[in-house]
A and B are shown apart, each in its own frame.
Chain A
Amino acid sequence: ETGVTQSPTHLIKTRGQQVTLRCSSQSGHNTVSWYQQALGQGPQFIFQYYREEENGRGNFPPRFSGLQFPNYSSELNVNALELDDSALYLCASSLGLAGPHPNYNEQFFGPGTRLTVL
């Protein structure tokens, strides 16, 4: 069973540029979530995709966008990069849609992409 993988491992961009981060879900998982973890902070939820549709979003501006593909891999796109976008970006996958009990689906995290904006 293959775990969650992310690419690239590290990335350096300049303010104003655009970036695309990639995530491959754990085998069989159809739900992907993205989190931003600034230095010294806990992760913050960006959004979640289920079966290629965004089904939940955190408090992030529209320049943070995503895609999920038919094989359930996912991309996070960030436009007009700002210095504060420098962070570790984590992807997590799970099976199925969350919901009230007993619909608990454990999320499995990838190792993250470290983005530095200069």
Chain B
Amino acid sequence: EAQVTQNPRYLITVTGKKLTVTCSQNMNHEYMSWYRQDPGLGLRQIYYSMNVEVTDKGDVPEGYKVSRKEKRNFPLILESPSPNQTSLYFCASSLDRMVDEQFFGPGTRLTVL
């Protein structure tokens, strides 16, 4: 089944404890991105990647890191999480350019205490 998977789905952590949210797609998509969803703000793009080893900042990159060492994986790293990073995170992928349909993962709900 074609899908985007994220792990974990739910995570509660404390300020400053490094964490990684994994994202994997099995559709051979070139383009992948991370979003955060906050009430009243819609989805805001954190980082995106046009291809392996090519990443770029979205609208809200501060406090986040990403890497794209393999085409299928695009992990989101929070080196020192803070409470303002409590949010619902979505990974998405598309065939190549952004005009293609984005396929979204199920989301990761992160709480930073």
A associates with B: no
